[in-house]
Structure 1
Amino acid sequence: MNRGRERGDDSDVESIAAAEGARADETADAEGVEVLELLDELRTIAQNGVTYAEDPYDRERYERILDLTSEYYGRTLDAPAEEMRGRLRGETGYVSAKVGASVAVFDDADRILLMRRADGGGWALPGGYVDPNESSSEAAVREAREETGLDVEPVELVGTFDLPAGAGGNPHSVVTVLYRCRVTGGDLRLSHEGTDLAYRDPSEIPADDWYVGNRAYALHARESVRETR
């Protein structure tokens, strides 16, 4: 007679618990992304309403939505609501997606220059947000210098990529502009933003060892450079 699994079989219990824990983590991550996507939509509506509403009663309603959005941003990101409120209220004009610029630099073996992020996010191309009154190509040059010590010159715009709010824990949606660049000077050095800096074959790095979105950037850039040869 099959009496079933013995109660003393701890290995099976541990396996089940681990699997359930992993599923719970995945569910929590997915729910966090969905919440951030919703909050990004709400804060866009609220900020644009505060900026452009002419009726004072409508403006009050948008202010209230912005306050609630700030509160739930704080809960989701474990940040003070007042800090989030200040960040959101400090953004003027029409609200749009954040814009980032990334840099693809290759060596003679078609390996791409990558930085392992100090925040534990994995491997990434040099890059960051575009500053006010700065073009995306200027941002690419600046970020390359800050993060790698190299002076670069943009050669080609190889792609633009969209990331929704919540991807990588980012509270806002981001449009990333990717430039292939050539090195014109400087010396390769690691900045405080990374823990490693090296030319790598992107196909040899596991998919889960990348900062969000950057594996696609690197593979696309390598395909682009190979097509030009």
Structure 2
Amino acid sequence: MSSTTILSYAQRLKSISHLGLTYSNNEYDTERYRELEQISFEMMQMATGLSLEPLTVYFSQTKEYITPKVDIRAVIFNDQNEILLVKEKADGKWSLPGGWADIGQSPTEVAVKEALEETGFNVKPIKLLAVLDKRCHPHPPQLDYVYKIFIQCEAITASYTEAFDILDVKFFNQESIPVLSEDRVLSSQIDLMFEYLHNPEKQALID
């Protein structure tokens, strides 16, 4: 069984145990759910190589119903059919501009904000391209359960600016895509974005 599969099962167990601990009204059930939670942590440890302490700390502040996090990526092409990528300071690899969704902002507002903050480009959203469950794609194992939203945007003004977490910003054609930050985006997903460029009538992909 792969690490990704183990982590997926562990996340489901953690969600079930969390709901049980939240709503249980007797000591017997609470004890069982705590045991289930401990098993989920041990499975996460197997899948990620992290020790148990940071795993338990990571989830300790979560009180509400556990739901997926949402990662939003802006897809920006230029007139030469090149795609805009940013070089992440975290790992020195490339990704589409974007990041976690913010409470109080719509998905398109987040895409516009992230593009501006990471590249300096003022963009306007054009259309939704894909909503992907990260579990269904070969990303490296990650503790969070994540949905990824890809939104095509058009550059209104293009003036590069420095960002604290970005090393470089550059357009690439499909044949010269650099090494990608696979925690954030996969080469298959970049290829999918080019499919939308060449076939504007292509339906949005779900999952």
**TM category, shorter:** 0.7 to 0.9
CA apart distance, 1:200:
0.4
Q: What's the counterpart of residue 181 of structure 1?
A: 153
In angstroms, what is the RMSD of aligned CA positions? 2.8
Letter in 2 for 1:192: F
Distance 1:219 1:63 in 2: 43
| Distance verdict in 2 for CA 1:138–1:63, change over 3 Å | farther
SS at match of 2:140: helix
The equivalent residue for 2:82 is: 111
Find the residue that maps to 2:74 and give its secondary structure: strand
Q: Aligned to 2:10, which of 8, 15, 39?
A: 39
Q: Aligned in 2, Cα 1:186/1:59: closer, same or farther, shift over 3 Å?
A: farther
1:122-133, aligned counterparts within 5 Å?
A: 122-133=93-104
Higher relative contact order (CA 8 A, sep 6+): 2
Residues 1:197 and 2:197 are matched in the alignment:
no
Aligned residues: 198
In structure 1, give the amino acid aligned to 2:169. Answer: L
Alignment of 1:69-108 (within 5 A): 69-70=40-41, 73=44, 76-79=47-50, 81-108=52-79
Q: Is the 8 A contact 2:76 2:154 kept in 1?
A: yes
**Structure of larger gyration radius:** 1
- The Cα shift of 1:114 comes to 0.6
Kindly state the Cα deviation for residue 75 of structure 1 after the two structures are TM-superposed. 6.3
Of stretches 147-156 and 115-124 in structure 1, the one that deviates more from structure 2 is 115-124
TM-score, with normalisation over the residues of structure 2? 0.79
For structure 1, the residue ranges without an aligned partner over 5 or more in a row are 1-29
Q: Which deviations, in whole Å up to 9, do the C-alpha atoms of 1:166-206 show, x marking residues without a partner?
A: 83231233211110111234621343333332100133337
Q: Distance in 2 between matches of 1:68 and 1:190?
A: 44
SS in 2 for 1:169: coil
Identity of aligned residues (%): 24
Q: 1:147-186 to 2 correspondence within 5 Å?
A: 147-164=118-135, 167-185=139-157
Which amino acid in the other structure matches residue 103 of structure 1?
A
SS in 2 for 1:147: helix
Cα distance in 2 for partners of 1:216, 1:88 equals 31
Give 1 or 2: higher helix fraction. Answer: 1
Closer, same or farther: CA 95–184 of 1 in aligned 2, 3 Å: same
Match of 1:211 in 2: 181
